[in-house]
Amino acid sequence: MEKISLKEKAIEFYNSGYSCSESIIKAIKEQDLINENINIEILNKIASAFSGGIGYSGCLCGAVAASEISLGLLFGRKNKTDNTEIKDISKNFIDEFKKRRKATCCKALSAGYEFNSPERRTNCASIVGDAGEILERIIYSNQK
């Protein structure tokens, strides 16, 4: 049986009612890409604040924010002298996302859609999928 991708799992969570940010977090945990000791309920609570472009402000896309949270969990600094490459990894995600979507701002990504419309949900599901696909590729290419 073929393993479902992070993209597909994130879209599945989104289509079941989770927000964009929660869907990325739940998918990365479900795919066993983060430490099993991470409390998913707490992490999901943290991620939930990022949906709607950070609390309906329309700023940073929640799927992007959750992807960056995930990268930090996996590759972030362990202490103040750690010279990890997290900033480069993080920038790589943003650059790849912008190549596909031209922006990271929720307001720009969802321009032209009414907030709770089915069309916007379809658009956001596609954005969640793109974020999941990029995130998965970056994770696997940076594992040592």
Are the C-beta atoms of residues 35 and 54 closer than 8 Å to each other?
no
pTM of model > 0.85: yes
Q: Which two tokens stand for residue 48?
A: 């939930």
Distance CA 1, CA 80 (A): 43
pLDDT tens digits for range 74-109 = 999 988 888 779 999 999 999 999 999 999 999 999
CB 65 within 8 A of CB 21: yes
39-72: b (≥16 Cβ within 10 Å) or e: eeeebbeebbebbbbbeeebbbbbbbbbbbbbbe
2 — pLDDT class (breaks 50, 70, 90):
low
**Percent of the chain at pLDDT exceeding 70:** 98
- Quote the CA–CA distance of 39 and 78 in Å, as a whole number: 18
H helices, E strands: number in the chain: 8, 0
The residue whose two tokens read 């419309």 is: 117
